Structures are given as C-alpha cells and as structure tokens.
Amino acid sequence: MTSYLCKGNQSSMADQVKLHGTWSSPFVYRVIWALKLKGVPYEYVEEDLFKKSPLLQQYNPVNKKIPVLVHGGKPVCESMIIVEYIDQTWPHNPLLPTDPYEKAMARFWVKFAEDKGSIIGSLFRVSGEEHEKAIKESLEMLKIVEEHGLGEKTFFGGDKIGIVDIAFGAFSHWLGVIEETLGLELLQPNAFPRLHAWTKNFKEVPVIKDNLPDRDKMLVQLKGIREMYLASK
C-alpha cells in the first residue's frame, strides 16, 4: 500500500480517480470504504441532487445518479459495480473471496442487499397501512440476513470485512438515524443479536470508523425529508 502511494502515478490524467457523490449517501460511502481499504487516492466532488451538474449528467446519462467513479476520465456507475471495479483494478487487500463458490455467495448477498435493503429507505415515503407493511418486510429481511447471511461469523467476510460488509454498511450507521427519525426500533439486540453485534464491530474497523457522515447532520436531514413527505399528504 505504501509503495503504491509513493509511486506518484496519480499525477497523470490516465490514473486520476474522482468520486461524485453526496455527503450522506450510504451508496457513496460503499465506494469511499472500498477506495480507503485499498489506499487509492481520489478527489471527491459533492453533487447537488436538486441541481445536478452537467458533468454528472454526462457521466451518468442513463439515470443521472450518484455515486459515479471516474477513473482516467471513464465513468463507472452503480455503487456495488463500482466496488467490484475497484477490487479488480486494485487487487491488493481483496474484498472478494478467491474461491469461486464463496465469491458467488458473496455476490448473492450483495445482490440481496441491493434488492431488499431498500425496503428500509421506503419507510420515509409511506404512512398508515403501507408503513406497517414496510416495517414487517424490513424485519423479515433483517431476519434472513441475520440467519442466512451472517450466521455465526463476526463479519460477512469472515474474520475481516469484505464486499458483503460494505454492501450492508447502511445497517451500521444509517439505520440508527432512520430509526431515531421515525421513532422505530427495527434492529433490536434481542431479536437480532448477531446483526446488532455486527453493527458495533463494523463501525470499529478503522477505515469505517474514520469514514462515516456526521450523525447529527444526518438526523437534521432525515427529519426534514420525513416532514416534507408528511406535509405533502
């Protein structure tokens, strides 16, 4: 890692790494963690989602979303696709297992995080019966992750964090803020002892601990979002 940083190859355009994101997005943080774990220097560009820059629209014309990683002028979109790209381009400190079956299982859980994890975010945009339904689905989803995904392991990656831990990262810091904003407790320690322990262990990992958005700022932001939704009803 040290020798890579000293190579000074970030000075050439061909190797320049830029990350376009927003300060509180868990999707952006997946990419930040991957870059930090690999010791890849990068330039961060904060995007205003209400006033998307022409650059963002050019780099991600399909859905104009962040994060976008731009490496040597070439854009890569979709957070977990970016993480796989980072893992393949900078292969030291691998985020994926080497065994093909274990690798495939890791990708299975990454996909699960992508497809099912968003149910928690949806809690902001629903109320009444739909809200109750989303809570029920969130709890079912957490149960599957606890029992089938994490099992007896400390981290999803085993003894150290890997790509699946990164994929589920939002459960560690963001979920608590969502719970506080909505007055819910989803990840109860009694109901989900292993997952609850994981959130603590994950946030203790130095790269993660040093790279998390400000909790108080997030609380203000999420309360604002919820209020806006309720006002629109």
Contact residues toward other proteins (CB under 8 A) are 62, 71, 74, 76-78, 81-82, 84-85, 88-89, 100-101, 103-105, 107-108, 111-112, 144, 148
Q: Between 65 and 173, whose beta carbon lies closer to other proteins?
A: 65
CA 171 to chain centre: 9
Q: Between 50 and 101, whose beta carbon lies closer to other proteins?
A: 101
DSSP-assigned beta bridge partners for residue 158: 155
Residue 222 is given by DSSP the state: H
Q: Between 6 and 62, whose beta carbon lies closer to other proteins?
A: 62
Q: Between 100 and 206, whose beta carbon lies closer to other proteins?
A: 100
Distance (Å) of CA 32 to CA 23, 46, 114, 194: 11, 13, 17, 25
In the complex, the smallest distance separating the C-beta of residue 100 from other proteins, rounded to whole angstroms, is 5
Distance (Å) of CA 54 to CA 47, 61, 64, 72, 224: 10, 10, 10, 18, 27
In the complex, the smallest distance separating the C-beta of residue 181 from other proteins, rounded to whole angstroms, is 27
**215 vs 207: CA distance, rounded Å:** 17
Check if the beta carbon of residue 153 is closer than 8 Å to that of residue 70: no
Torsion angles phi and psi, residue 196, rounded to 5 = -60, -45
Q: Between 47 and 87, whose beta carbon lies closer to other proteins?
A: 87
Structure tokens at 67: 């994060």
In the complex, the smallest distance separating the C-beta of residue 163 from other proteins, rounded to whole angstroms, is 13
Q: Between 120 and 145, whose beta carbon lies closer to other proteins?
A: 145
Check if the beta carbon of residue 20 is closer than 8 Å to that of residue 45: yes
In the complex, the smallest distance separating the C-beta of residue 86 from other proteins, rounded to whole angstroms, is 9
Q: Between 104 and 220, whose beta carbon lies closer to other proteins?
A: 104
CA 218 to chain centre: 15
In the complex, the smallest distance separating the C-beta of residue 110 from other proteins, rounded to whole angstroms, is 9
Q: How many residues are given for the chain?
A: 233
Cβ of 57: how many Cβ atoms within 10 Å? 10
